[in-house]
Amino acid sequence: TIREFTGKAGAPAAPSGGGGFFAQMFGGGGGGFTVKAGLNTFVWSRREEGPTIPSDVTLWGFAPGREVPPGTYKVRLEAGDWSEEQELVIALNPKIGQTAEGAAEQYELLGEIGDMIDDLYDGLGRLRDVKKQSAAAIERVRSAGVDHEDVAAAATAMRDKLTVIEEQITQVKSKSGQDPINFPPMLDNQVVNLYMYALGGFGGGDNRPTDAAYERLEDLRPQVADLLGQIDAVITADLAAFNDLVASKALPAVVVGDT
């Protein structure tokens, strides 16, 4: 299944994959549709689900799903126990000189860049989760009335390492839509912008990606791998040592703190 859309009578379309100006430019938007009595029309942008940009990340860019390449597909409509299936043919766009080979190459490249975006944000999510849980661990040790200075020192050292990595992945100072004007884009914004370029934005075209797009991907690939490797190293060494330290405190299953 490439894409699923659901709808209920009177319900507004559900947002999916971001929104705003870039969503409108590239046909992004709802993952659902409104149903009403009588004839209903639904228009699919031919896009898959795109990479997920976390809600707590602020950057200038948008990553809608890639358009499925020309070919023959099937569409299925279901309502209760009833369903019907029909053939859907997606043809080349003759207005832009699109070729099957070019469309396929664009599709594959967008898949690679999209996977890179997801990998980068998965790493960011793990990093932030470790920082959050380590802070909670300090509080738990403190609430138990156990000496927690060594735990706090270990957690601070680990979080400092992770923060250095975090600030290379994304611009942590950007909180609102206009902040990217004042603060430089970090690695995630560069990868997202490459995705948009390969998608057809910024003069990238809606056909075979340019050689520059492939070259830029090769520039970014080792940078992403390096930061993800640094996260893994902290989790393997620092987090493991931190967990051993907390375990040595032999805390009870339930800690009742001061009130």
Q: With beta carbons less than 8 A apart as the criterion, state whether 134 and 201 touch.
A: no
Q: With beta carbons less than 8 A apart as the criterion, state whether 16 and 30 touch.
A: yes
> Which structure tokens are listed for 14?
């559900």
> Which CA distances in Å does 254 have to 8, 138, 178, 244, 250?
44, 15, 45, 19, 12
* pTM recorded for the entire structure: 0.86
Q: What is the pLDDT of residue 116?
A: 98
Residue 57 forms part of a structural domain: no
Q: What is the pLDDT of residue 252?
A: 79
Q: What is the pLDDT of residue 86?
A: 96
Q: What is the pLDDT of residue 31?
A: 62
Sign of the four-CA dihedral 189, 132, 50, 35 = negative
Residue 166 forms part of a structural domain: yes
The parts of the chain modelled with pLDDT lower than 70 are: 9-32, 201-206, 257-259
Residue 127 forms part of a structural domain: yes
Range of the domain at 161: 100-247
Residue 87 forms part of a structural domain: no
Name the domain count of the chain.
Answer: 1
Reduced to 3 states (helix: H, G, I; strand: E, B; else coil), residue 84 is: strand
Alpha helices in 60-99 (DSSP H): none
Reduced to 3 states (helix: H, G, I; strand: E, B; else coil), residue 111 is: helix
Cβ contacts of 215 within 8 Å, gap of 6 or more: none
Residue 117 forms part of a structural domain: yes
Q: What is the pLDDT of residue 97?
A: 80
Reduced to 3 states (helix: H, G, I; strand: E, B; else coil), residue 30 is: strand
Cβ contacts of 94 within 8 Å, gap of 6 or more: none
Give, for 181, the enclosing helix (H) or strand (E): none
Q: What is the pLDDT of residue 216?
A: 97
**C-alpha angle 175/193/112, rounded to 5°?**
120
Rounded distance between C-alpha atoms, residue 219 and residue 145, angstroms: 51
Residue 53 forms part of a structural domain: no
Residue 122 forms part of a structural domain: yes
Residue 256 forms part of a structural domain: no
Rounded distance between C-alpha atoms, residue 31 and residue 44, angstroms: 10
